[in-house]
Amino acid sequence: MPTPLDRRRFLTRSAASAAALFAAREGLGQSTAAAAPGAAPPAPAPPTSPAAGIVRLGQNENPWGPSEAARRAATEAVSSGNRYVWGVAELEKKLAAREGLAPEQVILGPGSHALLCMAAAAWGAAGAEVVTADPTYPGLGLYAEALGGKVVRVPHDPAFRTDLAAMEARVGPATRLVYVCNPANPTGTVVDPAALRSFCERVSAKAVVVVDEAYRDYPDAARFASMLPLVKRGLNVVVTYTFSKLHGLAGLRVGTAAAPPTLAAALRKVRMGGAPLAVSNVAVAAASASLDDAAFLESCRRRTVAGREALAAFLRAEGLPTPPSETNFVFVPMASGAPELARALETRGIRVSARDPNHGLRVTVGTEEDMVRFRAAFREARAAIRPA
Ligand SMILES: Cc1ncc(COP(=O)(O)O)c(C=O)c1O
């Protein structure tokens, strides 16, 4: 009989190996050097942050963040760093009020990745089957596998959209968890709002549906709908969101999950770090201030959308049409050669993601200066690796 201690050791080991695998696949722990325009100069890079000068277009960060208000709030919060965390419950309450949810329906985590792992621990561990798209954001699926769950991966449709019908067809008696990333990473596409709504209505009668809305701030309102109203209706639906994208707080680690009360309670049970301590006071302060800075958020959104359309037009002109993106990145479909191209770009100071090597490259929208460097390096890199 496994004791609670055995189980805890297993979870810790599994978590460590899933984290290592994820970090390797995402290229995490590498250099950092985003230029932040605007009045305030970016803080100097910490000593462990190497490679100033690398243009980071591989992790879908906001190159203009954090906002002035968030920086100020974070800096003030540092002074109280000797005290244990406060403010988590208040921020959960503030977020819940904005969405028309009860406070206990919103859970804060150290990044939405952690919340996706919590969903895997709650419903995707040994004995359970998890249905996801392929390729997709890998965190939930990898963590479920680390905990002994079986992941069924369903290819996207020919237009690079999540294939909801094919995913639904794979939901069987052992399925406990279904993961839909919308807008999708890495393809950048969205699914039809009505189709996703009815998919969630049907599938949530059989399994918990997690809808990952990390990029929900970017899509055109006519083509995208959040699934938060289904949470309000009490369906078996969890919606995750992050402060790492539009809010520009990726390094501070704040994400949220919204869920009906019973699912929220199940998620809280597997939250590590002690319920109110999972997110640091610095991150909580920054996230709360950022939420109130609508002008900053709107300006980042506009610049991102303009940069994204310019990037797609550049790639089209280079003979590489891309699926319509509703995010802060563009996906370049390539059945082969993506890792070579990524390496050739890296040697020219540009980092992109080739996390899904048989599918293509993913390029984040950077600052205007970043994109000038990207375009020059991209032309050079392609010329360098083109067979003579
Ligand atoms: C679709 C998606 N979900 C979740 C995450 C994790 O974000 P974080 O843990 O920074 O909140 C990412 C990060 O890139 C993502 O692309």
Please tell me the least confidently modeled range out of 80-94, 102-116, 240-254, 262-276.
Answer: 262-276
Ligand 1, closest atom to CA 255?
Answer: 11
- DSSP secondary structure code for residue 220 in this structure: -
Q: What is the pLDDT of residues 87-102, one digit of tens each?
A: 999 999 999 999 999 9
- CA-based torsion, 298, 362, 249, 15: positive or negative: positive
The pLDDT of residue 43 is above 80: no
- What pLDDT does 8 receive? 42
Give residue-wise pLDDT tens across range 11-25: 444 444 444 444 444
pLDDT value at position 74? 98
Q: Please report which confidence band the pLDDT of residue 46 belongs to, taking 50, 70 and 90 as the band edges.
A: very low
Torsion sign (Cα): 265, 149, 274, 6 = positive
**Ligand 1, atom nearest to 244 Cα:** 10
CATH code given to domain 31-60+294-385:
3.90.1150.10
For ligand 1, mutation pick of 182, 244, 290, 325 (most atoms within 8 Å of CB): 244
What distance in Å separates the CA atoms of residue 283 and residue 87, rounded to the nearest whole number?
Answer: 10
Whole-angstrom distance, CA of residue 139 vs CA of residue 120: 9
Portion of the chain with pLDDT greater than 90, in percent: 82
Mean pLDDT of 133-160: 98
Q: Which residues pair with 237 in a beta bridge?
A: 209
C-alpha 383 to ligand 1 mean position (Å): 33
Residues 228-253: tens digit of each pLDDT: 999 999 999 999 999 999 999 999 99
Length of the chain: 388
With left for phi above 0 and alpha for psi between -120 and 50, is residue 96 left, alpha or beta? alpha
**How far from 210 is each of 111, 241, 265, 319, CA to CA, in Å?**
15, 11, 15, 36
Please tell me the distance between residue 5's alpha carbon and the centre of ligand 1 in angstroms: 30
The whole-number average pLDDT for the span 328-356 is 96
- For residue 26, pLDDT beyond 60: no
> If you take atom 6 of ligand 1, which residue's CA is the nearest one?
113
* Lowest model confidence (mean pLDDT) among 31-45, 163-177, 270-284, 286-300: 31-45
For residue 207, is pLDDT > 50?
yes
Q: Phi then psi for 330, rounded to 5 degrees? A: -130, 140
Tell me the pLDDT band of 35, cut-offs 50, 70 and 90: very low
Domain with CATH 3.90.1150.10 in the chain: 31-60+294-385
**Using omega within 30 degrees of 0 as the cis cutoff, is the peptide bond preceding 135 cis?**
yes
Task: Report the relative pairing of strands 350-351 and 329-333 from DSSP bridges.
Answer: unpaired
Structure confidence at residue 19 (pLDDT): 46
Cβ(142)–Cβ(130) under 8 Å? Answer: no
Is the whole-model pTM more than 0.85?
yes
Atom of ligand 1 nearest to the CA of 243: 11
Structure confidence at residue 52 (pLDDT): 66
Strands (E), the chain: 55-56, 106-109, 129-134, 150-155, 175-181, 208-212, 237-242, 255-258, 329-333, 350-351, 360-364
pLDDT at 45: 46
Helix or strand or coil: residue 303? helix
Give the per-residue pLDDT at 278: 83
DSSP symbols for 60-115:
---TT-S-HHHHHHHHHHHTTTTSPP--HHHHHHHHHHHHT--GGGEEEESSHHHH
Ligand 1 atom with least separation from CA of 114: 9
Decide whether any atom of ligand 1 lies within 6 Å of the 32 Cβ.
Answer: no
Give the mutation target among 62, 107, 108, 137 for probing the ligand 1 site: most ligand atoms within 8 A of CB. 137
| pLDDT confidence of residue 135 | 97
The answer, yes or no, to whether any atom of ligand 1 lies below 6 A from the CB of 61, is no
C-beta of residue 382 within 8 angstroms of C-beta of residue 318: yes
Q: Mean pLDDT score of the chain, rounded to an integer?
A: 89
The CA dihedral of 120, 123, 124, 127, to the nearest 10 degrees, is 150
Q: How far is the CA of 222 from the centre of ligand 1 (A)?
A: 24
CB 324 within 8 A of CB 192: no
Atom of ligand 1 nearest to the CA of 109: 11
Compute the distance between CA of residue 303 and CA of residue 297 in angstroms, rounded to an integer.
Answer: 10
The answer to whether the Cα torsion of 30, 179, 141, 122 is positive or negative is positive
Q: What is the rounded CA–CA span in Å between residue 322 and residue 84?
A: 47
Q: Where in the chain is the domain with CATH 3.40.640.10?
A: 69-291
Report d(CA 190, CA 117) in Å as an integer: 23
Token pair 């067809």: residue: 169
Q: HSE of 274 in the Cβ direction (CA atoms, 13 Å)?
A: 6
Question: So what's the pLDDT on residue 275?
Answer: 66
Question: For the domain 69-291, what is the CATH code?
Answer: 3.40.640.10
pLDDT > 70: percent of the chain: 85
Q: How far is the CA of 53 from the centre of ligand 1 (A)?
A: 24
* pLDDT tens, residue by residue, 47-87: 445 456 899 999 999 999 999 999 999 999 999 999 998 89
pLDDT at 1: 39
Total Cβ atoms within 10 A of residue 4: 7
C-alpha 57 to ligand 1 mean position (Å): 15
Tokens of 128: 């359970």
The conformation of residue 273, written as its DSSP 8-state character, comes to T
